[in-house]
Amino acid sequence: MPNGATATIIGHLTRDPESKSVGDDDMKTQLRSCFAFFLVGLVALSAFDASAAVAPHSEESMMKGATHVIRGKVVALSSKTQKSKVESTLFARDRIFKVTMILSEVEKGKAIKPGDELTFEAWQPSTRLPLLPGPQGHQPIPAKGDLVKTYLLYNKKTKTYHPFMPNGIKILKKAK
């Protein structure tokens, strides 16, 4: 007569394939949970509008597409962090810069002239969760006192100027 351990092994080897044990149910539950988690993750990731970084524009294309092309000295710079208007991920915040210039030259554009003060908005991503690639905003952001050339687009609806992204701001001379 076999002992208890041998009887258990023999029972597993000779049991009917249609019969279920407690271990089989646990394994199926775990597999179902893993599969469900995988599907939810896949759907969540595909729901994001995963955009890529924006390639730099040539000076010719910016000159052609810009409503205003100006040169001047940055006299004021302020920034604030706010919810992103560019991306709609779970947690996306952008740093919005307001750059004020005194114009020294107007290469293209109407209703502005040298000596005028003009303010434009630029942005850079501050926080992104989940960490997905996307537009990187304007590079570089000038400092107060810098001499810059900007290729701007005017938004009639919001009455604001925005540089071409990502390279619509050229720093000609850094402030000392």
Q: What is the pLDDT along the chain (176 residues), one digit of tens a residue?
A: 555 555 455 545 555 555 555 566 777 777 777 666 665 554 455 444 456 678 899 999 999 999 999 999 999 999 999 888 877 767 888 999 999 999 999 999 999 999 999 999 999 988 877 777 777 889 999 999 999 999 999 999 999 999 999 999 999 999 98
User: In this structure, what are the phi and psi dihedrals at residue 134, rounded to the nearest 5 degrees?
Assistant: -175, -175
Q: Is the full-model pTM beyond 0.75?
A: no
Using alpha carbons, list the distances in angstroms from residue 14 to 5, 10, 25, 158.
14, 6, 19, 79
